[in-house]
Amino acid sequence: MKQIKIKKTDDMLFYDTLDNGLQVFMVPKEKMNTTFVSLNVKYGAIHNEFTPSDDKKMAKVPNGIAHFLEHKMFEQENGVDPMMFYAEKGADVNAYTSLYNTAYHFSCSSHLNENLEYLLDFVQAPYFTDENIAKEKGIIEEEIKMYNDDPYSFLEEQIRFNAFLNHPIKYSIAGTVRDINSITKEHLYTCYNTFYQPSNMFLVISGKFDPETLLEVIKTNQNKKDFPKKGPIKLKKITEDNKVLKEYEEKVMNVEVPKISYGLKIPLKPIKIEPKKGTLYLAIMLDSLFGSTSTFNEEMKEKGYLLSKILIETFPTESHLLVTINADTEYADELLEAIKNRLLDLSISDEDFENKRKMFISNGIYIYEDVNSINRNITNDLILYNEYYPNIDDILNKLNKKEYEIFKNSIKISNTTTLIIKPKTSEGGYDVKS
Task: Please list every residue from 288 through 327 that binds another protein, using CB under 8 A.
Answer: 291-295, 297-298, 301-302, 304, 307-308
> Hey, which residues between 177 and 196 contact another protein (CB under 8 A)?
177-178
Q: Binding of another protein at residue 434 (CB under 8 A)?
A: no
> Hey, which residues between 249 and 288 contact another protein (CB under 8 A)?
253-257
Instruction: Tell which residue, 188, 196, 162, has the closest CA to residue 21.
Output: 196
* Cα gap 121→38, rounded to integer Å: 13
Q: Using CB under 8 A, which of the segments 39-47, 144-152, 186-194, 408-416 binds another protein?
A: 144-152
Q: Binding of another protein at residue 34 (CB under 8 A)?
A: yes
Q: Closest distance between another protein and the C-beta of residue 175, in Å?
A: 10
Residue 410 amino acid letter? S
**Residue of the chain from 70, 156, 328, 381 that contacts another protein (CB under 8 A):** 328
Residues ≥6 apart with Cβ < 8 Å to 285 = 346, 348, 404, 407, 408
Asked whether the beta carbons of 47 and 63 are under 8 A apart, the reply is: no
Q: Binding of another protein at residue 233 (CB under 8 A)?
A: no
Nearer to another protein, 39 or 108 (CB): 108
**Residue of the chain from 37, 45, 99, 140 that contacts another protein (CB under 8 A):** 140
**Residue of the chain from 98, 109, 380, 391 that contacts another protein (CB under 8 A):** 109
Catalytic residue (choose from 30, 49, 70, 212): 70
Q: Where are the alpha helices (DSSP H) in 228-274?
A: none
**Residue of the chain from 141, 241, 334, 393 that contacts another protein (CB under 8 A):** 141
Neighbour-count burial of 59, counting CB atoms closer than 10 A to its CB (0-12 exposed, 13-18 middle, 19+ buried)? middle
Q: Binding of another protein at residue 369 (CB under 8 A)?
A: yes
Q: Binding of another protein at residue 7 (CB under 8 A)?
A: no
Instruction: List residues bridging with 39 in a β-sheet.
Output: 104, 203
Q: Binding of another protein at residue 368 (CB under 8 A)?
A: yes
Using alpha carbons, list the distances in angstroms from residue 373 to 4, 41, 197, 262: 18, 19, 26, 29
Instruction: Tell which residue, 320, 316, 172, has the closest CA to residue 240.
Output: 320
Using alpha carbons, list the distances in angstroms from residue 61 to 47, 70, 242: 9, 15, 25
Q: Binding of another protein at residue 139 (CB under 8 A)?
A: yes
> Hey, which residues between 75 and 104 contact another protein (CB under 8 A)?
81, 83-84, 87-92
Nearer to another protein, 126 or 207 (CB): 207
